Amino acid sequence: MTALTLISHPLCPFVQRAAIVLLEKDVAFDRINVDLSSKPDWFLAISPTGKVPVLKVRRPNAADAMLFESVVICEYLNETLGGAPMYPSDALLRAQHRAWIEFASQTLAEGWQFLHARDSSTADVKRAAFRERLGKLEAAIGDGPFFAGAAFGMVDAVYAPLFRYFGIIDAKVAQQVFDGLPRISVWRSALAERASVKEAVVDDYANLFLTHLRQQEALIAAT
C-alpha cells in the first residue's frame, strides 16, 4: 500500500492536475476510479462535494485524511513532497501564478462549452468566448516552452488537461481556436510532450473522450 490514493474518474480534467503533480514528484500512488453516474456510498462519505478528485492520505497513527478540490490537493503535494518546487520562490510571482490558476477555472468552462456545442451558432459563440480568454493568457506567457520559461510549474499542470482535448479533436477545428496565438501553440506542444502529462491519463483516453463527445451529440464529434 502507498501513502497516497487518488480517487479518480478517467475523463476528469481536475483529476489529471493532481496526477500530473504526483508524477512530476515521482511518488508512487494508488488510483481508484469512481462511476460518477452512480456514486457509491463510500465515495459520498469522503467527498463533501460529490466530485473528484479526492486524495486519501494515510497516516501512521491517525485516521486517513481526505483532501478535496484539485488545486488544494496539488498545493499540498507540492508542499509535502520532494522534487523541484512548482511555484516561484518570489512572493509576487507566486501570487501571479496563483491568479492565472484561478483564471483557468472559467477558461476550462468556456473551452468545455465550445467542445460540447451541438450546433454551429452555439459553437461560434463559445469559440469566441474561449478565444477571448486565451488571448489574455497569451499575453501572460513567458518565453516558453512552459508558462514561465524552461521550468514546468503548477500553472502548466493546471492547464495541460484543457489543452489535451484539442490534440484529440479534428486538427482543423483546433486550428480555428489557436490560430494567431503563437505562444499558447508552443506551450500546448511542450505540454503534450511532457511525460507527466502523457502518463496522467489512461492509454485509451482519446477514444474515451471522443466516445463521450458522440454520446453528448457534440457538433465536433461529427467532423
Are residues 71 and 134 part of one domain? no
Label each residue of the chain as H, E or C.
Answer: CCCEEEEECCCCHHHHHHHHHHHHCCCCCEEEECCCCCCCHHHHHHCCCCCCCEEEEEECCEEEEEEECHHHHHHHHHHHCCCCCCCCCCHHHHHHHHHHHHHHHHHHHHHHHHHCCCCHHHHHHHHHHHHHHHHHHHHHCCCCCECCECCCCHHHHHHHHHHHHCCCCCHHHHHHHHCCCHHHHHHHHHHHHCHHHHHCCCCCHHHHHHHHHHHCCCHHHHC
Q: Which of 12, 137, 157, 162 is catalytic?
A: 12
- pTM comes to 0.97
Taking only the tens of pLDDT, the chain with its 223 residues reads 689 999 999 999 999 999 999 999 999 999 999 999 999 999 999 999 999 999 999 999 999 999 999 999 999 999 999 999 999 999 999 999 999 999 999 999 999 999 999 999 999 999 999 999 999 999 999 999 999 999 999 999 999 999 999 999 999 999 999 999 999 999 999 999 999 999 999 999 999 999 999 999 999 998 6
Are residues 105 and 172 part of one domain? yes
Are residues 60 and 106 part of one domain? no
> How many domains are there within the chain?
2
Does 74 qualify as catalytic in the annotation? no
* Structural domain includes residue 86: no
Are residues 146 and 50 part of one domain? no
What's the CATH number where 190 sits?
Answer: 1.20.1050.10
Q: Which of 45, 80, 115 is the last residue of a domain?
A: 80
Which structural domain, as residue segments, surrounds residue 214? 91-222
* Structural domain includes residue 204: yes
* Structural domain includes residue 159: yes
What's the CATH number where 70 sits?
Answer: 3.40.30.10
